[in-house]
Structure 1
Amino acid sequence: MDLKELLGEELHQQVTEKVGDKKIAVVSDGSYIPKEKFDAVNQEKNDYKQQVGQRDEQINQLSEKAKGNEELTSKIDELKQQNETAKNEYEQKLNDQAFDHALKDSLSAAKVKNPKAVQALLDKDTIKLKDDKLVGLEEQLNNIKESDPYMFEEEENPNEPPKPNFTTGQHTKGSGDEPANLADALAQKFTK
Structure 2
Amino acid sequence: MKKDEFVKLGLDEETAQKCADASAEELKGFIPKSRFDEVNTEKQRLETTLKERDTQLEILKSSNDDVAALKQQIETLQQENRLKEQEHAKEIRQMQRVEVDNELLSAAKAKNKKALSGLLDEIDDAVELEEYRKQRQQQIDALKKSEETNFLFQEENKKISLKGASLGESGVDPTGQPVDVSKMTYDQLCEYYSQQ
TM superposition score category, shorter chain reference: 0.5 to 0.7
**CA deviation vs aligned residue, 1:86-142 (integer Å, no higher than 9, x gap):** 111111111101110111111111111111111111102258452496131122122
Number of residue pairs the alignment of both structures matches: 151
1:189 alignment partner in structure 2:
none
The TM-score, its normalising length taken from structure 2, stands at 0.57
2:110 aligns with one of 109, 112, 122? 112
Q: Deviations over 1:133-155 (max 9, x none)?
A: 61311221222122321011101
From 60, 75, 78, the counterpart of 1:77: 75
Instruction: Tell me, yes or no, if the aligned pair for 1:112 and 1:152 is still in contact at 8 Å.
Output: yes
Aligned to 1:48: 45
Letter in 1 for 2:11: E
CA pair 40-94 structure 1, distance change in 2 beyond 3 A: closer
Match of 1:91 among 89, 92, 106: 89
Q: Contact (CA 8 Å) 1:113, 1:151: kept in 2 or not?
A: yes
Aligned equivalents of 2:41, 2:124: Cα separation in 1 = 30
- Can you list the C-alpha shifts for 1:138-173, whole angstroms capped at 9, x where unaligned? 22122212232101110134xx5258xxxxxxxxxx
- d(CA) in 2 for partners of 1:122, 1:138: 10
Closer/same/farther in 2, CA of residues 87 and 107 from structure 1, 3 Å limit: same
User: After the TM superposition, which residues 164-175 of structure 1 pair with which residues of structure 2 at under 5 Å, given as runs?
Assistant: none
Which structure 2 segments of 5+ residues have no match?
Answer: 163-196
TM-score normalized by structure 1? 0.58
Separation in 2, partners of 1:20, 1:144:
31
Determine which structure has more spread, i.e. the larger CA radius of gyration. Answer: 2
Rate the CA distance shift 1:20–1:124 in 2: closer, same or farther, 3 A: closer
Q: In the alignment, is the contact (CA less than 8 A) between 1:59 and 1:80 conserved in 2?
A: no
AA at the equivalent of 1:71: A
Looking at structure 2, the residues matched to 48 and 132 of structure 1 have their Cα atoms a distance apart, in angstroms, of 27
Gaps of 5+ in 1: 164-192
Contact residue 112 and residue 118 of structure 1 kept, 8 A: yes
- Identity rate of aligned residues, in percent? 18
Q: Report the CA distance shift for 1:70/1:162 in structure 2 as closer, same or farther (over 3 A).
A: farther
What is the RMSD of the two structures over their aligned residues, measured on CA atoms? Answer: 4.1
Matching residue of 2:123:
125
Tell me if structure 1 keeps the 8 A contact 2:38–2:92: no
